[in-house]
Every structure is written in structure tokens, then in C-alpha cells.
Amino acid sequence: MDQKNRSIVSAGTLVLLSILFVALTILSSVFLKGLRIDLTENGLYTLSEGTRDILADMDEPVNLYLYFSEDVSRSLPQFRSYAGWAGEMLEELADLSGGKLKLKRINPEPFSVQEDQATQYGLQAVPVGAAGETLYFGLVGTNSLDGLEVMPFLQPDKEKFLEYDLAKMISSLSHPKHKKVGLISALDIGPGYDPATQRVREAWVIHQQFDQLFDLQSISPDAAALPTDLDLLVVVHPKDIAVDMLYQIDQFVLAGGHLLAFMDPLAEADLGGDPNDPMARAQAGGSSTLGSLLEAWGVGFDTSRVIGDRAYALQVGTGPGQPPVRHLGILAVSSDGMNSTDVASADLEVVNFSSSGWLAPIEDSGTSFEQLVASSESAAPMDASSLRFLVNPNDLDKGFLPTGDRYALAARVTGQAKSAFEQVPEGTSPGSHRSVSEESGINVVLFADTDVLTDRLWVQKQSFLGQVIINAFADNGTLVANLADQLLGSSELITIRARSSTNRPFERVQGLKLVAETQFRATEERLQLELEETERRLTEMQQVRQDGELTVLSTDQQDELQRFTDRKIQIRGELRQVQHDLSRDIEALGMRLKFINIVLVPVLIVIAALMFRQQRRKRLERNA
């Protein structure tokens, strides 16, 4: 074959390959649409069993309408990519529902009937471009009973929460009746009027979450009786709770009612009542307990002490220009501190506590005590008064000695229990007195902290296109909602919600930092003690001198001062060496990881490929 023919064949081959490539691309986009391979460790992009169970257990048919502005979004690749992925997930849900879930895509073009419908449903129109065009990207769900659920705008930065949001919408529409949850709280966690700022007070995010998930009913702490149809009772900061209400709670639990309670030795969100009262601040941060009820349930709780923890201590700022320091009383409990066998806490990453107490089982009580969240072994009790007016968190570290025990910050109590009341309290609404629990026993979840519910410990709020966006940086809300669902018997949403966190802390690096900080603190304290001792000696020397010589340092004083100065320089060198060793250890760890990822893994893959090739060649030779 001459050169000319070879060129023609080569050109023809390239054309055929190009045509084949385009054809394969088109065919793959059609026949492989929606196909995904999830290689993430936690399977973040694979539908969970909880979602599949919700779809299999649908009582009502559900219609979903996905509104997305196709034309307007052509210059917004981020939204188009996310819309495609969200649409594929919705189609997968519809396929798995067996026909009970129907999906319809709608393109709300400007001035169309579809745009009017989107506006009526409350979907958010986001202005894009200089021409004033608006982008719709929302979801509407309906059922046959006039039920309506709306997601005004699907945000790409909340992609990891999409499965849970969709499952929650489908579950709400297919099971229209919400569980009834009663709330007793001495803290202003709901919406209202703030007299201090003279503005409307927003509800805490946890309150908003419960209001969306359940039929939430507020109950006054001094109410004569509890509603008779409660599915779950939530008690937050039972400070100075009336005896009559304690009795109502006692009887509710013994009759098989489920309780989720939050107590505290130092409730930082308790502002002490009237903000205009000058004495309110002195009364702020009060303690709360369920008192005799805890004893009847076999639980001990000390309202005078809080838990400090070196391993879980969070770093906090102390002022402008100052480096952050660890606060022993503010804890970021990692997965190591959570019960891995309980579905409510098994897959969570971090839950933050502040000035938390601890719960302990009472021996021979007859109930079962199960830790849900616990401290590390580097923890110890501290006086709650040490946190009330704390200025420098470093002060908490002085004299702090870990006990080596793990303290329960949250626990579940089940089993047979007796009433805390021998008889009906005088003045209480008449009714049959229950002295022991139902045969099934009690089911109570207790927290030794109320601040775990506050927004500052787990959510961050920011404005996005004129809308307030709430981003969770900890799993506080997830844990509480999981426990509520679990107490209500709804386990499907738990398995989905628990997958939402993708926080993967560098635990080895954190461990190195903790050891270095402990050494740094010990060296710094030694320097401070030597400084105080030198000042004491200088003062003694000055006191024995004559009045006319007080402004001039003696030779002994100068020598003592010089010795301290030299020692101070030496100790500062030790402090720098501690920091240098920490940086060196972290860099060495990083280099080992780089070597493993860049060199070792590829070499192992090549060796495995060569061994496979050698074995294949031997098999071919034997067969030949």
C-alpha cells in the first residue's frame, strides 16, 4: 500500500473513531442516564434503606412538581448541573415507589401560566443577569387530601441534605397526620417579643425544626394538666417547675408516655428573667432538674458541678489579636463519645455541649441506664461557679486533673419504675394514681445540658439571595430530632438524616496538638510560678532596705533579677521547642501520607498489575 492510500486509511479511521465516540456519548447519555457509582466512604450519594422503606410504606399517592427555568439557566452551569442531578434522584424515587410517587417537570417561562403557578405556591424567583430575568428552581409536593409541601429554592450548597429533605416531604405527604409533641420550657426558645431589643424574637432553629416535623404544642410549666393525646413530651430547663406539673410528668411517663428532657447545672441561655431588672444578670444561668423524678427513675444528677474535658475542649477566641485557647467547659464530642449501637447517634460526627453536667445510674434502681453521649477519659467534674463569670478560659486548666472516667452527657432510661409520689399532691386534678409503670416500662431520654439546643453551638445563619440560609456545623439538631423520631417510633428518617454530616476531622493531628498544648501549658505555668517567686524575693529584699535606697536595686536584687531573666529566656526557648516539635510531627505525618498516596499506592497497583499479567500469561501457556 502506497503512502497516499495509507493516508486515506488513516484519515478514514480517525473519522470513524470520531463518529463512534460521538455515538457512544449519545447512547451513554440516553441508556446510562441516572447511573452513578458512589465511591464515598459513607455512601453519601446512594439512596439509604430509610428512603426505600418510606417509599414502600406510602399510604397516600404523592405528586411532585419540579420547577426549573431551563432557558434562564443556560448561563448558570452550577444550577444546571445540580438540577440534572436532583431530577435524576427524583426519577429514581418515582421508579422505586411502585407508581405511588409521580414526578412532573415544569419550565416556568416568563409571563406563562406555569410562572403564575410557581408564584402562587411561594417558590422563590431569584433575579439573574442584567436583563432582570428570574430563575425558578423549587419543588412542590401535593397529595389527594389537599396536603401541600414546598421547597421554595433548591440550593446547590445543600446537596448533601437533598435526600433527607425529599424523604421528609414524601413522608409528610404520604402520612398526613403529624405526631403531637408537647413542649414545656423555661427558656424562650419559641418566637415572641424581645423586650430588651424591642423586636420580634425568632425561634431557635431546633424549635423551627420541631414545628416543621411535628404538631408542636407549647405547655405552660404551671399548667394544671397535660394534654391527653400527647405522643411525646419535651421538657427544656425545668427550673422551679411546680410540684403539680412534676406529678403530671411522673404519671405521663409511668403510663407509657415518652419523655425527652434537657436539664442543666448552668443554663447559659437562662438570662434571669426581666432584662430590665438589674438583678436579673446575677440570677442568670440558673440550674434545673427533675428532682425526685430522677431518683424514682434511678438517675443521679448534680446541679452544682459541670464536666470539663481536655480531649473534647473547643478552641475559643479570647479577644482581638489573641490566639484561641481551649475551653474545658465547651465540648465538641466526636463520634468516639457517641453510642455507636444506637441508631439515633451511630453515624453522627460531632455534637457540641457547653457547661454540661452529667448523669449517673443509681445502683439497684431496677431501671436500665444507657449512655448516648459521653465525655472522653480526659474529663473531670468542675464547680459550676467557676464558669459563671469566667474571663480567661486558661484559668480552668489550673489544677485540673482528669479522673479517667467517661461521664454520660445524655442517656436513655428504660425499664420498670415506681412513682416519685406516694399519693396525689393536694390541689392536683383528680384522677387515678399510678404507682408503678406499665408492663412495657418507661422510655425516657435525658440530657445534662440545655445549651446543646442553642443556635450558637450548632448552626450558622447567613444571607443568600435575600433569604436566610441555615448551615449546620455540628450534629446537635440531628441528634435531638433523631431521638424524637425514635421515641415516636419513626426510624426511617433517622437513617437518612444521620448521613448528612461530611465533616472528617484530622484526629491524629488533633491528638498531636492536644499533647503539645498540655506540655506548653505545663511549661507556661512553671514560668509563671518562677515569676511569682522572683517577685516575692525582690519584695522581701526591698523591705529590709533603708527608705533612701528604695529606688535603687541592690546587687543581690540585680543578681536575682538577672537569674530570672536568663531563666525566662530559657523557658521561652522550651516553649518554642514544644511548638517546633508539634509542627515537625504534623509535617512528618503529612509527608508519610503524601508518600503513601503519591508513591506507595501507585507502586502497589503496578506490582499487582504485573503479577496479574504474569499469572495470566502462565495460564495461557498451560492452556496452549
C-alpha cell, 427? 390541689
The packing angle between helices 77-96 and 162-174, to 10°, is 40
Cα 317 to Cα 39, 299, 382, distances in angstroms: 38, 36, 21
Sheet harboring 325-334: ordered strands across? Answer: 313-316, 325-334, 350-354
Q: What pLDDT, on the 0 to 100 scale, is given for residue 141?
A: 93
Indicate the residue type of 529.
Answer: L
* Segment 319-334, tens digit of pLDDT: 777 778 889 999 999 9
Rounded Cα distance between 227 and 182, Å, is: 8
Rounded Cα distance between 234 and 487, Å, is: 11
Please measure the distance between the N-terminal and C-terminal CA atoms of the chain and give it in whole angstroms. Answer: 34
C-alpha cell, 155? 440550593
C-alpha cell, 588? 512528618
CB 450 within 8 A of CB 288: yes
* Segment 72-95, tens digit of pLDDT: 888 888 888 888 888 988 999 999
- Transcribe 128-178 into DSSP letters: ETTTTEEEEEEEEEEETTS-EEEES---GGGGGGHHHHHHHHHHHHHS-PP
Which DSSP state fits 71? T
Rounded Cα distance between 54 and 120, Å, is: 29
- Transcribe 578-618 into DSSP letters: HHHHHHHHHHHHHHHHHIIIIIIHHHHHHHHHHHHHHHHHH
Which helix (H) or strand (E) covers residue 532, if one does? helix 507-543
* Segment 118-165, tens digit of pLDDT: 999 989 888 886 667 889 999 999 988 778 889 999 888 777 778 878
Confidence of residue 408 (pLDDT cuts 50, 70, 90): very high
Rounded Cα distance between 3 and 7, Å, is: 6
* Segment 248-296, tens digit of pLDDT: 999 999 999 999 999 999 999 988 755 555 555 555 668 999 999 999 9
The packing angle between helices 77-96 and 49-56, to 10°, is 50
Which helix (H) or strand (E) covers residue 415, if one does? strand 408-415
* Segment 200-251, tens digit of pLDDT: 888 999 999 899 888 899 999 888 889 988 999 999 999 988 888 999 999 9
CB 138 within 8 A of CB 154: yes
C-alpha cell, 107? 419550565
Q: What pLDDT, on the 0 to 100 scale, is given for residue 582?
A: 57
Q: What are phi and psi of 102, to 5 degrees?
A: -115, 135
Whole-model pTM: value is: 0.62
* Segment 543-571, tens digit of pLDDT: 655 555 545 556 766 776 677 666 666 66
